[in-house]
Amino acid sequence: MATIGLGKGSYIRPYRRVRMRAFPEDSSQTFIVGDPIAMSTDSDEGNYIKIAAADPTTDRNFVGFAAKAATGVKGTMIDVWLATGDAEFVAHVCDAAAADIALDNDYIDTEYGLIADSTYLIWRVDISETTAKLVRVLELLDAHGDTNGRVVFHAIAPERLYHD
């Protein structure tokens, strides 16, 4: 079993069948590449994007993952990797405390949440989150038993939930 190194470059990234689209940034945003992105809920600003809530859930406003860091300037166009039903992404796993854990084959075909890892400034698949489910693990990218291992997942996207 190996321990996979983590760093700021270990952010959520596209893997297969991912499309990209640009959206205008909401005001005062500070998200970075790989952060989950949602549509703004401010009145009359439903086309602006912002970082998702700390414990994101499957909701109509979830868009995907930032492909570009925020500028902090409202209206700046930001590329987003879309969380469509066929898009697949890669992320490291952890538990609710963002603690390092080992990969397990039992994660495959199970739904989990996402959590911000404040140590590395990345988001990871939170295998202890079984209430606010946002992703479904499709396969292990690293070996069973690897600590800080990566999984391939797809978002439980609004497109799949609501068929729009």
73 and 137 part of one domain: no
95 and 150 part of one domain: yes
pLDDT in tens, 28-37: 999 999 999 9
Q: Residue 75: what residue type?
A: G
Q: Of the candidates 32, 64, 82, which is a domain's last residue?
A: 82
Contact 9, 151 (CB under 8 A): no
pTM above 0.85, yes or no: yes
pLDDT in tens, 45-83: 668 999 988 767 666 688 999 999 999 999 999 999 999
98 and 74 part of one domain: no
94 and 75 part of one domain: no
Residue 66, in any domain of the structure: yes
pLDDT of 44 over the 80 cut: no
Q: Of the candidates 29, 62, 82, which is a domain's last residue?
A: 82
State the Cα torsion 96-102-108-110 to the nearest 10°. Answer: -20
pLDDT in tens, 97-124: 777 889 999 999 999 999 998 889 999 9
- Residues with Cβ < 8 Å from 1, sequence gap 6 or more? 102, 143, 145, 146, 147
Q: Of the candidates 36, 54, 82, which is a domain's last residue?
A: 82
